[in-house]
């Protein structure tokens, strides 16, 4: 499009630029600016108010010497491994079962996915009730006569994080199943025919042919699960409020509590910067694999 008077570059496409102002502001001010601000202030000793009084890595030393943070990290790791392994395994198995040309596929899918429509708060509260030692699953089984039966993850500090993971899996596996099902449906029917002609058993076909072919789906799913793990917050707040004691604390809750209750902003910033770092460790290699090298339009 050649124009006779050649308007200044800045004003070309002006409407699009004006319309993109919210996006530009969000990208620059909130995402880049906000992140840089938090990282910068994590090197200060801000307490009630943010102050630029630099103390080097002090906040980080203190962070890694705080038992509550160490417990949070340990919990996040356990929760993360459980979430990753079980939601991938259960999600894939459910998807494979649904992919067998079964009847009532829609009904089953609707049932498996509905928890995903619920918030983590609702999920946490329901499972808090189900795992209530007096009235929940434990209480019911004890009333049936097995009086020594013990299943009270929410009141036992050594297994509380598993109790939270159960609720998280209930809420999230439906989504993974959907993604996996989409992946399975994307596989050429001829592959199955060829495997059948060669007499390869079904489980072997899945394990050695289908799963390797679904690598991109698995990678995307992995990134989705991983970035969800780091953000876990509401579920813990609703289900245990971090208890018993500090046994089910997680990093996101640490950040929130230090920023808004303990009035120790510097600690909150340092902890959130550590969260950012851990996400980057997952995201950067993925983004590099996904977008690096070839240009996508």
Partner 1 sequence: MSDQAVSLSAPSGAGHADASGPSGPKPRHIFSRRNIFLYGTLIVAALYYLLPLYVMIVTSLKGMPEIRLGNIFSPPLEITFEPWVKAWSTACTGLNCDGLSRGFWNSVRITVPSVILSIAIASVNGYALANWRFKGADTFFIILIVGAFIPYQVMIYPIVIILREIGLYGSLSGLVVVHSIFGMPILTLLFRNYFTSMPEELFRAARVDGAGFWGIYLRIMLPMSLPIFVVAVILQVTGIWNDFLFGVVYTRPDTYPMTVQLNNIVNSVQGVKEYNVNMAATILTGLVPLVIYFISGRLFVRGIAAGAVKG
Q: Scanning residues 9 to 38, which ones bind partner 1 (CB under 8 A)?
A: 9, 12-13, 15-17, 19-20, 22-24, 26-35, 37-38
Give the nearer residue to partner 1 in terms of CB position, either 137 or 159.
137
Give the nearer residue to partner 1 in terms of CB position, either 163 or 268.
268
**Contact residue for partner 1 among 155, 231, 246, 262 (CB under 8 A):** 231
Interface residues for partner 1 in 144-183 (CB under 8 A)? 170, 174-175, 178-179, 181-183
Interface residues for partner 1 in 244-283 (CB under 8 A)? 251-252, 255-256, 259-260, 265, 268-269, 271-273, 275-276, 279, 283
- As to burial, measured by CB atoms within 10 angstroms (0-12 exposed, 13-18 middle, 19+ buried), residue 231 is middle
Which residue stretch of 65-73, 78-86, 119-127, 147-155 sits at the interface with partner 1 (rule: CB under 8 A)?
Answer: 119-127
Q: Is residue 287 within the footprint of partner 1 (CB under 8 A)?
A: yes
**Contact residue for partner 1 among 104, 146, 208, 288 (CB under 8 A):** 104
Q: What is the DSSP letter of 214?
A: T
Task: Answer whether 282's CB lies under 8 Å from 227's CB.
Answer: yes
**Contact residue for partner 1 among 100, 147, 148, 158 (CB under 8 A):** 100
Q: Smallest gap, in angstroms, from Cβ of residue 262 to partner 1?
A: 14
CA distances to 102, 113, 211, 237 from 107, in Å? 11, 10, 25, 32
Q: Is residue 115 within the footprint of partner 1 (CB under 8 A)?
A: yes
Interface residues for partner 1 in 51-90 (CB under 8 A)? none
Q: Cα–Cα distance between 16 and 39 in angstroms, integer?
A: 32
Report DSSP letters for 2-67, one per residue: --SS---GGGTTHHHHHHTHHHHHIIIIIIIIIHHHHHHHTTB---SS----B-TTHHHHHHHH-H
How many helices and strands (H and E) does the chain possess? 16, 0
Q: Smallest gap, in angstroms, from Cβ of residue 87 to partner 1?
A: 12
Q: What is the DSSP letter of 136?
A: S
Which residue stretch of 54-62, 70-78, 205-213, 225-233 sits at the interface with partner 1 (rule: CB under 8 A)?
Answer: 225-233
Cβ neighbors of 275 (< 8 A, separation 6 or more) are 230, 251, 252, 255
């Amino acid at each position: 499009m050649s124009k006779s008077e050649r308007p200044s570059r800045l004003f070309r496409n002006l409407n699009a630029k004006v319309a993109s102002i919210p996006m530009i502001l969000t990208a620059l001010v909130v995402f880049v600016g906000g992140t840089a601000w938090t990282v910068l202030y994590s090197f200060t000793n801000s307490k009630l108010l943010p102050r630029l009084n630099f103390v080097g890595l002090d906040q980080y030393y203190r962070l890694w010497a705080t038992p509550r943070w160490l417990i949070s990290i340990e919990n996040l790791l356990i929760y993360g491994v459980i979430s990753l392994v079980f939601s991938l395994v259960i999600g894939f198995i459910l998807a494979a079962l649904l992919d067998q040309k079964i009847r009532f596929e829609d009904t089953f899918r609707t049932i498996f996915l509905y928890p995903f429509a619920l918030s983590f708060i609702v999920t946490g509260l329901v499972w808090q009730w189900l795992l209530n030692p007096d009235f929940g699953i434990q209480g019911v089984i004890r009333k049936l006569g097995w009086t020594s039966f013990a299943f009270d993850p929410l009141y036992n500090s050594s297994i509380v994080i598993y109790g939270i993971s159960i609720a998280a899996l209930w809420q999230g596996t439906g989504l993974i199943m959907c993604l996996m099902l989409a992946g399975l449906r994307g596989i050429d029917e001829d592959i199955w025919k060829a495997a059948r002609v060669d007499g390869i058993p079904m489980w072997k076909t899945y394990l050695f042919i289908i799963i390797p072919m679904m690598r991109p789906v698995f990678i995307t799913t992995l990134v989705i699960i991983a970035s969800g793990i780091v953000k876990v917050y509401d579920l813990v707040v609703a289900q245990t409020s971090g208890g018993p004691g500090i046994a089910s604390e997680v990093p996101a809750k640490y950040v929130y509590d230090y920023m808004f209750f303990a009035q120790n902003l510097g600690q909150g910033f340092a902890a959130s910067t550590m969260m950012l770092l851990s996400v980057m460790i997952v995201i950067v290699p993925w983004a590099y694999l996904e977008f690096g090298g070839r240009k996508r339009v």
